[in-house]
Structure 1
Amino acid sequence: MALPLRTATETWVFDLDNTLYPASCRLFDQIEAKMRDYIRQHLGIDDEAASALKTRLFQRHGTTMKGLMQDHGVDPHQFLRFVHDIDLAPLDAAPDLGAALAGLPGRKVIFTNGSVEHAERVLARLGIAGHFDGIFDIVAAGYVPKPEIGPYHAMAAALKVDPRRAVMVEDMARNLKPAAELGMTTVWVPGGTDWGAEGQGDHIHHVVDDLAAFLHGLD
């Protein structure tokens, strides 16, 4: 399938966190800690209660932020600025991934449940920002997260993506199901997390441990 995948693809749609860099960098650990801090400070509860609430909101609403918005009236802009104020030092430059992206025909875009500002910081740190033609973030999605289907339609319209000629790359298996339903070819990059592995099924067309090697191999 490698040759048709390469030649038939017009747009490559990439998730950001734990997809374009390895989950072993543990950036999301920092983000989760910031979420707990925000909940604790905003609601005036202790660490244990904040951690439990964060988990419940994620399970009930798909993202902690959506739950905080709906259940507690949190300002999403303030929340995003707070939780994405993290140390990117664990991220190394990714020249091999950059070379693989440069060699791909077609457009490359980012589709993330994070913010544009966070995506820009991460891409700059990795040294691959110049390879992407657009970023569709949680703000553009009206704060509706993947894997709800609405953001996929909105992303495709905003970035002019034909799903039938697109490949989507993600670390969360469940986020690839709507992509497959729209006609995208899907690539799952397992990060070793339980929540990333939830929702596996035949909607996953490729499972990739090393994204750069996979993209290079399409030659």
Structure 2
Amino acid sequence: MIADLRHVDTWLFDLDNTLYPAESGFMAAIVDRMTDFVERVTGLPRDEAFRLQKTYLAEHGLTLKGMMLNHGVDPAEFHAIFHDMSLEALAHDADLLAALQRLPGRRLIFTNADDVHAQRVLKHLGLDALFDDVFHIGSAGYEPKPSPAAFAKMGELHGIDPGVTAFFEDSERNLAPAADLGMTTVLVGPHAPTCAAPFVHHRTEKLAPFLSGAHLREVA
């Protein structure tokens, strides 16, 4: 079904596993480094460190938040472990580039990653010039999605009108607060077609064809 997005003039995108496919394996490599970090800081065996990492993710929306609260971790030290990661798994997508270019209005990134990681990935994908700004975890005062406080800070900073905003995410639970605010929500990824959550308005396995086929506002 073709999505009617003619009311949208602010386009809000998550970054990881949304602007590149989950099957790239890049996010899995990030999780491996995260587990290494938790193992090193806590001294736990790797399997226990992985479980703790996932517990913090479930409880706080971000492993880093749990590490900050319970282990006194410096967020700069945590984010530095990702800044030298190889980006070879991420490929340019000409169809996605063209689809993003046709969107009328503002394009923004809303990510739980830090600014360095976001800019590295966007530049490597050839998408950095298409976005007006990146609202990263530092911008949110380390309050991650799906916290309503993160949405409030992002909305205040960028003057977001939820009624004309579409939010694209690979994480279902991060779309719930967006829908509560009145945004149009789009779940992206291989799991999207089976999602039955009422706060998810559109579902697509692939971002580029969804955007390319959507009905958009005509620009005068």
TM-score (norm 1): 0.91
What is the CA-CA distance between 1:104 and the residue it aligns to? 0.9
Which of residues 208, 213, 217 is equivalent to 1:212?
Answer: 208
Q: Name the amino acid aligned to 2:87.
A: L
- Counterparts of 1:184 and 1:99 in 2: how far apart (Å)? 24
Q: Deviations over 1:46-67 (max 9, x none)?
A: 3223222212222222211100
- Counterparts of 1:79 and 1:157 in 2: how far apart (Å)? 27
RMSD: 2.0
- Counterparts of 1:84 and 1:66 in 2: how far apart (Å)? 19
Q: Name the amino acid aligned to 1:204.
A: V
Aligned twin of 1:184: 183
> Equivalences for 1:41-190 in 2 at 5 Å?
41-190=40-189
SS of the aligned residue for 2:209 comes to helix
Change (3 A) 1:210 1:48: closer
Residues 146 and 175 in structure 1, CA contact (< 8 A), matched pair in contact too? yes
- Counterparts of 2:60 and 2:3 in 1: how far apart (Å)? 39
- Identical-residue share of aligned pairs (%): 42
SS of the aligned residue for 1:38 comes to helix
Q: Which has the higher contact order (CA 8 A, sep 6+)?
A: 2
Aligned twin of 2:218: none
For structure 2, the 5+ residue unaligned runs are 216-220
Q: Which segment is superposed worse, 97-106 or 198-207? A: 198-207
Q: Name the amino acid aligned to 2:186.
A: V
Q: Name the amino acid aligned to 1:27.
A: F
Aligned length: 215
Q: Name the amino acid aligned to 2:25.
A: R
Change (3 A) 1:3 1:26: closer
SS of the aligned residue for 1:139 comes to coil
Residues 31 and 84 in structure 1, CA contact (< 8 A), matched pair in contact too? no
